[in-house]
Amino acid sequence: MICPACKKDMVVVEYQKIELDICPECRGVWFDSGELELMFRLHGSEGIDSFLKDMIQQNDAETTEKKIRCPICRNKMNKKAAGETPPVMLDVCGRGHGIWFDGGEVVQLAKHVGTKKKADAGNEAVQFIEEFFNI
């Protein structure tokens, strides 16, 4: 797969039931549909499902960031704001193929989701993601 941000070849990293496409150049990550939710569930955090559903249903965020193309269907992806102060600007395929995270955005989102949960499960997901993505 070609990185939608920097156009370099991405590498596939397998973790349990998840195949992540990671760009070694810009450190962006592509999650196919359902993979992000699965990663959080594997680490005890269930809050991501409703969070992502709400985020995807909102209107596109106003931003000066350039829209990038889905690496699957090649259509321009929608910009969605996730979290608060400042929000993480995610690229979501309108056809449901997946979500693109620029380098570091996975950790930012994980921290936001983790802080919304009172249980330690959200923090376990954050710790795993920080270690997995070497941030």
Query: Whole-angstrom Cα distance, residue 83 to residue 93?
Result: 19
1-55, pLDDT tens digit by residue?
999 999 999 999 887 778 889 999 999 999 999 888 887 777 666 666 677 777 7
DSSP assigned state of 12? E
First and final C-alpha spacing in the chain:
23
> Model confidence over 16-29: pLDDT tens digits?
778 889 999 999 99
Instruction: Give tens-digit pLDDT for 122-133.
Output: 455 556 666 666
Mean pLDDT value across residues 84-100: 89
User: Residues with Cβ < 8 Å from 83, sequence gap 6 or more?
Assistant: 108, 109, 112
Q: Where are the domains of the chain?
A: 11-132
